[in-house]
Structure formats: structure tokens, C-alpha cells
């Protein structure tokens, strides 16, 4: 690896910067295309959710030609980063009343659950703004919980001039860990039917959730009448999020995180002395493996979460503090030295933090 670094230095006239998150946009694109066509087969459109990687414009410029229904993000600042792209934008977190002007500027459509906020949109809009009303089917995050309140909101919205109701939606498995079932999603289809019947509306969008609905897609059991999904995780990581299963026909290695070894020593596996709380007021438990080879890489909880795994199967992540990630390297067949670069597989939380951390370089392939 040292020789590798010298090569890089000669070629680029500078040292590589670590830690570094590498995004393979070719694999990501292939995942998106495969999911999009799978959903299409089952009568659904796809909103691609961009929030996990802060809507990185260099990445989404490469996806702008895919005819996705929307790029969706929870933050207007992220949608602003995509403003130059032709794909329509969807705000997927209920807007703050204080950000309505930016909403109208950066989003074509938004998910809504408060009539007072929708009234504000109607008041401030000078052109059409489309909305999707969220229905809470029991996950207890966002959405109308009381059906009567929902119907009253519809009643008012259909009379508005700028606000246009184009659909209803549900979010599951985010807070209450409620798993999507055909029965649950049928409740949403029934609500859509009721609204269509009563108001003579087309209501084209019935948005049946996020990557946690993907297990139903795999089993071809999404109820007829669900016309859209909002997909982040499945395209980024090749996993569904109801059970955490890998989707076998997708790439699982869009992301690689590389970090540099800053210490390598034989130490005990259990702290020596009286044990109290760690830096995060947690009571850690240690397995006694005797003396063993331990490494530290220059990464920490500011940059990553717990879902980080060394690609070398002989290296195990032991834990981390704000700026240090500690590794058990005893079982590795490779001989490492300080300065070597260790590669990691990373999942949702680690990628999210790495993208936000100003200390992590991002390389886009
Ligand atoms: C984050 C989010 C999604 C996407 O979730 P994934 O599990 O990443 O597919 C969809 N809808 C809403 C409302 C969200 O907040």
C-alpha cells in the first residue's frame, strides 16, 4: 500500500486524502434502472430519494436522464442543490411553515399533513403547487391519523386555486417499525378510492412507502392500486428495510470507505483497571481475547455510525470514539503497517454521516 500511495503522489502531485468515501455511480445507476423497471412491471412509478447522500449534484446529474418521476429529499437545501436538473423535485418531509417560500421555489410537489400549512402554501403561491396528503396507518410518524380530519382537509384543498391534490401516501417502518403488509397498504388504496368517488378526482399517486415495501415487491404482493414508491436505501445499498434482507439482483457495494491506519500495537482486549463510563456515557462490555493485535484508523463517530465493516474478514470493528475507530486485527492474514489504507463496507447511517462530515473526502466514480 505504501508503494501504491507513492504512485498516487507522483500521478496526482499530492497525497491521497483520507478518510475517503468512494461512490460507484455506475453500480448505483444499474440498481436504479433495475428497481425502476421492476416497479413498472407492477404498475408503480419511482421517486428516487436523495437524502442519504445530501443530494450530491455530481451523482444525480448522472441520473437525470432516467425518467424518474421525482428526485425526493427531506431538506429543501438538498433540493436546491438539484435545482438545475430537469427531473421534478419532491419534498418528502412535511414543510416547516417558515420555509414555504423556498418550498415553492425548489419543490414541484410536497408531502403534507397539516391543513394550516397547506393554507399557507395556497396564500403564498403564484403558480400551481402539487401536494400528496400523508395518511398515518399506525407507524406514528407523519400523516393524518383521523380519517374525518383527512376528509375535511381534502374538502378544503379541492377548492384551492394553486394547491393541487395529486395523491395520498403513507410512510412505514421509520418510527414505529410497522412492517408493510398487503392489508395495511389496502387501507391506503381504500382511502384513495373514497376520495376519488367523493370528489371526482383522478388522484394518480398512491404512494405506498419506502424501501421497507420492497419485500412485497419481491413477492409480487403489493396491492393493485398502489401506484408509486419512494426509494432511497434499496437503490443505494441493495437492501430492503422491513427485514434488512439483501436483494440478490442488486449491487451491495456502491459505497466503499477508506481510512488510514494511525496506530498498530499488541494490547490487552479488556481495559486495565477500574471500568466506568466511556466518552459517550455508555457502559461498554469487553470480550477477553487476551493480548492481541489492535489498530486505530483516523475515523470516528463524527464521520460514521455503527454500520461499518472491514472488507478484510480478519479485521473486526471493536468500537469508536469521536475521532478514533478501533479494530481487532489479530485474525487478518495480511501484514499491515501504520499508513496503510483499510477499506470498509458501509451501510445507511455511516454513509449519511460520512456525506455530512466535512472531514471525509468524497470520490465519485
Ligand atoms: C427517507 C424517506 C423515504 C425513503 O426511505 P428509504 O428507506 O431510504 O427507501 C421515503 N419516504 C419518506 C417520507 C422518507 O422520509
DSSP state, residue 93: S
How many CB atoms lie under 10 A from the CB of residue 80? 17
Residue nearest to atom 2 of ligand 1 (CA): 210
Exposed e or buried b per residue across 319-350, where buried means at least 16 C-beta atoms within 10 angstroms of its C-beta: bbeeebbbbbbbebeeebeeebbbebbbbbeb
Centre of ligand 1 to C-alpha 230, Å, is 6
233 in contact with ligand 1, CB cutoff 6 A: yes
The residue whose CB lies within 8 Å of the most ligand 1 atoms, and thus the one to mutate among 174, 178, 307, is 174
- Report the alpha-carbon distance of residue 269 to residue 318 in Å, rounded: 10
Residue 140 has a pLDDT of: 86
Average pLDDT on 301-322 reads 95
Exposed e or buried b per residue across 53-69, where buried means at least 16 C-beta atoms within 10 angstroms of its C-beta: bbbbbebbeebeeeebb
The model's pLDDT over 56-78, given as tens digits with 9 standing for 90+, comes to 999 999 999 999 999 999 999 99
Q: Residue 7 to residues 16, 226, 310, 326: CA-CA distances in angstroms?
A: 10, 53, 24, 28
The model's pLDDT over 272-311, given as tens digits with 9 standing for 90+, comes to 777 777 777 777 777 888 889 999 999 999 999 999 999 9
92 in contact with ligand 1, CB cutoff 6 A: yes
Centre of ligand 1 to C-alpha 215, Å, is 15
Q: Do residues 137 and 178 touch, judged by C-beta distance below 8 A?
A: yes
Helix/strand/coil for 194? helix
25 in contact with ligand 1, CB cutoff 6 A: no
Helix/strand/coil for 25? helix
Q: Which residues pair with 317 in a beta bridge?
A: 327
- Report the alpha-carbon distance of residue 155 to residue 198 in Å, rounded: 9
Centre of ligand 1 to C-alpha 74, Å, is 9
Among the atoms of ligand 1, which is closest to the Cα of residue 111? 13
232 in contact with ligand 1, CB cutoff 6 A: yes
**Own/partner long-range contacts of 193-196 (Cβ < 8 Å, ≥24 apart):** 193/225, 194/151, 195/151, 195/154, 195/168
Residue 191 has a pLDDT of: 95
- Kind of pairing between the strands at 89-91 and 109-112: parallel
Q: Which three cell numbers stand for residue 259?
A: 481510512
Of the listed ranges 106-115, 137-146, 181-190, the least confidently predicted one is 137-146
Average pLDDT on 213-222 reads 92
Residue 176 has a pLDDT of: 67
Residue 5 has a pLDDT of: 45
- Report the alpha-carbon distance of residue 221 to residue 42 in Å, rounded: 9
The model's pLDDT over 242-272, given as tens digits with 9 standing for 90+, comes to 888 999 999 999 999 999 999 999 998 887 7
Query: At 236, phi and psi to the nearest 5?
Result: -80, -40
Residue 1 has a pLDDT of: 39
Segment holding 258, helix H or strand E: strand 255-267
- Report the alpha-carbon distance of residue 21 to residue 344 in Å, rounded: 9
Query: At 216, phi and psi to the nearest 5?
Result: -70, -35
Q: Do residues 174 and 210 touch, judged by C-beta distance below 8 A?
A: yes
Q: Which of 332, 297, 316, 352 is nearest to 19 (CA)?
A: 297
Q: Do residues 63 and 44 touch, judged by C-beta distance below 8 A?
A: no
Residue 246 designated active-site: no
**pLDDT over threshold 80, residue 79:** yes
Amino acid at each position: 500500500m505504501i508503494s501504491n500511495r507513492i504512485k498516487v503522489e507522483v500521478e496526482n502531485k499530492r497525497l491521497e486524502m483520507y478518510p475517503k468515501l468512494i461512490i460507484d455511480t455506475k453500480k448505483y445507476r444499474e440498481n436504479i434502472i433495475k428497481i425502476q423497471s421492476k416497479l413498472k412491471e407492477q404498475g408503480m412509478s419511482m421517486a428516487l430519494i436523495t437524502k442519504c447522500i445530501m443530494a450530491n449534484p455530481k451523482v444525480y446529474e448522472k441520473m437525470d436522464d432516467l425518467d424518474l418521476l421525482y428526485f425526493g429529499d427531506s431538506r429543501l437545501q438538498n433540493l436546491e442543490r438539484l435545482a438545475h436538473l430537469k427531473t421534478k423535485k419532491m419534498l418528502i418531509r412535511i414543510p416547516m411553515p417558515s420555509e414555504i417560500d423556498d418550498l415553492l421555489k425548489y419543490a414541484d410537489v410536497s408531502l403534507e399533513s397539516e391543513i394550516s400549512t397547506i393554507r399557507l402554501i395556497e396564500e403564498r403561491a403564484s403558480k400551481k403547487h402539487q401536494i400528496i396528503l400523508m395518511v398515518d396507518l399506525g407507524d406514528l410518524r407523519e400523516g393524518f391519523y383521523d380519517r374525518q380530519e383527512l376528509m375535511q382537509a381534502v374538502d378544503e384543498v379541492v377548492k384551492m386555486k394553486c394547491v393541487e391534490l395529486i395523491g395520498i401516501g403513507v410512510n412505514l417502518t421509520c418510527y414505529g417499525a410497522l412492517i408493510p403488509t398487503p392489508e395495511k397498504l389496502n387501507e391506503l388504496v381504500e382511502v384513495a378510492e373514497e376520495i376519488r368517488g367523493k370528489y371526482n378526482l383522478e388522484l394518480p399517486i398512491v404512494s405506498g412507502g419506502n424501501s421497507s415495501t420492497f419485500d412485497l415487491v419481491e413477492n409480487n404482493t403489493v396491492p393493485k392500486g398502489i401506484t408509486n414508491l419512494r426509494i432511497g436505501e434499496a437503490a443505494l445499498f441493495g437492501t430492503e428495510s422491513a427485514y434488512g434482507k439483501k436483494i440478490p439482483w442488486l449491487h451491495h457495494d456502491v459505497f466503499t470507505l477508506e481510512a488510514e491506519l494511525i496506530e498498530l500495537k499488541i494490547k490487552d482486549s479488556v481495559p486495565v483497571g477500574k471500568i466506568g463510563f466511556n466518552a459517550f456515557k455508555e457502559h461498554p462490555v469487553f470480550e477477553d481475547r487476551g493480548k492481541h493485535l489492535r489498530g486505530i484508523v483516523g475515523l470516528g463517530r463524527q464521520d460514521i455510525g455503527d454500520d461499518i465493516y472491514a472488507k478484510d474478514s480478519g479485521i473486526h470493528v471493536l468500537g469508536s470514539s469521536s475521532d478514533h475507530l478501533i479494530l481487532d486485527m489479530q485474525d487478518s492474514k495480511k501484514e499491515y503497517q501504520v499508513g496503510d489504507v483499510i477499506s470498509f463496507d458501509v451501510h445507511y447511517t455511516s454513509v449519511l454521516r460520512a456525506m455530512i462530515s466535512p472531514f471525509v473526502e468524497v470520490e465519485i466514480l
